Structure 1
Amino acid sequence: MPKFVRAFLFLPFLATPAAAELPEPVRAMLEAARASGDAAVFDAVAATARQTNPDDAAEIDALVGEVHAARQAAAAKAAEAERLAIEEAGPLDRWSGKGEIGAFTASGNSSSTGLTAAVELMRAGNEWTHSLRARADYQRDNGRTSREQFFGAYEPRYQIGENLFAYGLAQYERDRFQGYSGRYALSGGLGVTVFDGPALDLSAKAGPAYRHTRFIAGGTEDSLNALVGLDFDWRFAEGLALTQDANLVAAAGGEAVAIIGGRSTSVTLVTGLDAKVTDRLTTRLAFTLDYDSKPPAGAVETDTLTRFTLVYGF
């Protein structure tokens, strides 16, 4: 083959420069960021490396892709391990909660100061979530009881879709000063999660409800109702949260939770302000309003209760 033909055939290879290798200091910097385990640090270092070494962008992108793939694989492995741990846990495992104790002032059917205590337990699974709540307000003045209010509820939830859930509710209340020795409610229905984020949680639920009431003065009442519930939490600043729960029972048709039906309209509205002290300890200022449009004889329509409590998470 003539020399000029061979030169012509090999000219493209001679004219194309060899691909530049990533400078060792840049590679060392990326590897150090990768070894730190901090995703934000690595992504920031990689972005800087691309800007300062545009000719090595392809090699940098390949390394970034490798790191992201490893990160996703680790997250998937951790999620699967968590799922299996939840499935294999016993019925008494994986419960968390918080206890609350403090003082209150009351107006309405009773005007006094006293003590309040509460506990809330929760167990979150893959599809099921179980919640147990109990509260007691009790006061004695000069050897006689001036306030006696007890509340307990169990609520299981089943997650149907990303934002849709089914719920059940069994609830017990006792309040001598509102005129009933026992008020029991059973409900079940559907709910939707409207917001579920780092700053705002909002969910609503609705369904039929059955309520049985035993009055202090004697007699009972059974009624079929409709329940509507609202749960709102707003973490508006570092360590601060505003909570809003309401319980409405209306004769014609509403934690916010609404039970609608029966002989009267009753509303329980709870507004709270939480301030974080430590990772486990929180102070809470809460205002509760109880309203019954048809209270028993000798009772007034509206009770209010202001609580200042310490809350311990466990």
Structure 2
Amino acid sequence: MRYGTLISAAMLGIATPAAAQEESLPDAARAMIDAAMETGDAEGVAAVVAAARTAFPDNATEIDAIWTDYQAEQARLAAAEAAAQEEVIRTAGLFENWSGQGQIGGFQASGNTDEIGISAALELKREGIDWEHRLRLAGDYRRTDGVTSREQILARYEPRFQINERLFAYGLTQFERNTQQGFSARYVASGGIGYKLVDSGNMDLSIKAGPAYRVTEFVDGGTSSRLAGLIGLDFDWQISDSIKLTQDANSTVETGGEALLIVDGSNTSLSAVTGVEASIIDSLTARLSWTVEYDSNPPAGAVSTDTVTRFSLIYGF
């Protein structure tokens, strides 16, 4: 009678009590998954869920449902955070959301010569949704035996508009003073198109090009105004995560390169900077850089090429 009843129930589509309900996931397993979720480590949660599937194959449906709900909640939180960050950027004031670094270096010598020199620079960057603003101020000053032997000032502002992930439009205004190269002031205005050739986690390479207009005021009082073409290159390469300095501090080594070429009918100018940086503490970095400045047609009494090697400390903020 018992077997006949079971067969009849099965034929009628009536589930037996044993098959009617799958056993729930054990409380200990559920507690283990909940604990992993509370850590906020998505990879850890995935590993625990995978282990639970292996240990409790009969509860795979319930485990999959927990995992699906978790992923949906994480996606919702990420979207909310991204929207909040975007709102902060869109509503930021003119003097907000700037980051950058300041650097300073110098030397003093006495004996056969009485010499003092200082090098300072400030770089600022502000990144928005589509716009990016870059500002650079730099200066070198050297005085030997009471005579100024080097006086150089640079001020550059460059806004960029990101057209897509790699293509951007730029504008550039620049002021220079370099009495050693024979000019007391040089102004450049340019605009054009740029492209990110490499955009990876440890290497970035971008180029830009466009027409330019340059006005030069020479030390002897002469002035020239010319149309020109501008070609620029920005390069950053993080070689390794860390190195060890003599004081056993963990450091990050990074090389950076920047080149700016301006061509006109009378004079071609090239400025190229390559540097190596090693962080000392969280915000303090040591930098060794090498600068080449070239003018194809310098004023009388000036040479075409200047090179400067600098060692300086950088504070990031």
When the two structures are superposed, what TM-score results if normalisation uses the length of structure 1? 0.88
Cα distance in 2, alignment partners of residues 55 and 223 from structure 1: 80
Is 1:240 the equivalent of 2:253? yes
Cα distance in 2, alignment partners of residues 84 and 302 from structure 1: 48
Is contact 1:127–1:158 with CA below 8 Å preserved after alignment?
A: yes
Q: Which whole-Å deviations, capped at 9, do the CAs of 1:245-266 have from their partners, x for residues lacking one?
A: 1112xxxxxxxxxx22231222
Is 1:85 the equivalent of 2:88? yes
| Residue number in structure 2 paired with 1:182 | 185
Is contact 1:151–1:172 with CA below 8 Å preserved after alignment?
A: yes
| Residue number in structure 2 paired with 1:47 | 50
Is contact 1:117–1:137 with CA below 8 Å preserved after alignment?
A: yes
Cα distance in 2, alignment partners of residues 287 and 4 from structure 1: 89
Cα distance in 2, alignment partners of residues 206 and 55 from structure 1: 63
Q: Which whole-Å deviations, capped at 9, do the CAs of 1:93-129 have from their partners, x for residues lacking one?
A: 2222111001379xxxxxx762100001111111111
> Pairwise mapping of residues 111-190 of structure 1 onto structure 2 (< 5 A)?
114-190=117-193
- 1:231, CA displacement in angstroms? 0.8
Q: Show structure 1 runs of 4+ deviating over 4 A.
A: 2-5
Letter in 2 for 1:283: A
- 1:17, CA displacement in angstroms? 6.7
| Residue number in structure 1 paired with 2:205 | 202
Is contact 2:102–2:315 with CA below 8 Å preserved after alignment?
A: yes
Cα separation, partners in 2 of 1:17 and 1:265, compared to 1, 3 Å: same
Cα distance in 2, alignment partners of residues 297 and 61 from structure 1: 79
| Residue number in structure 2 paired with 1:278 | 281
Instruction: Report % sequence identity.
Output: 48
| Residue number in structure 2 paired with 1:37 | 40
| Residue number in structure 2 paired with 1:252 | none
| Residue number in structure 2 paired with 1:102 | 105
The alignment yields a C-alpha RMSD, in angstroms, of 2.2
Q: Greater RCO between the two (CA within 8 Å, min separation 6)?
A: 1
Is contact 1:140–1:147 with CA below 8 Å preserved after alignment?
A: yes
Cα separation, partners in 2 of 1:55 and 1:3, compared to 1, 3 Å: closer
Please, which of 2, 8, 11 is the counterpart of residue 9 of structure 1?
A: 11
Is contact 1:104–1:307 with CA below 8 Å preserved after alignment?
A: no
Letter in 1 for 2:184: S
When the two structures are superposed, what TM-score results if normalisation uses the length of structure 2? 0.87
Cα separation, partners in 2 of 1:310 and 1:5, compared to 1, 3 Å: closer
Please, which of 224, 227, 231 is the counterpart of residue 227 of structure 2?
A: 224
Cα distance in 2, alignment partners of residues 303 and 28 from structure 1: 69
Cα distance in 1, alignment partners of residues 19 and 312 from structure 2: 75
Cα distance in 2, alignment partners of residues 245 and 57 from structure 1: 56
- 1:272, CA displacement in angstroms? 0.4
Q: Which runs of 5+ in 2 are unaligned?
A: 109-114, 242-251
Is contact 1:104–1:305 with CA below 8 Å preserved after alignment?
A: no
Please, which of 9, 26, 31 is the counterpart of residue 29 of structure 2?
A: 26
Is contact 1:150–1:173 with CA below 8 Å preserved after alignment?
A: yes
- 1:298, CA displacement in angstroms? 0.9
| Residue number in structure 2 paired with 1:74 | 77
Is contact 2:193–2:209 with CA below 8 Å preserved after alignment?
A: yes
Q: Find the residue that maps to 1:270 and give its secondary structure.
A: strand
- 1:214, CA displacement in angstroms? 0.9
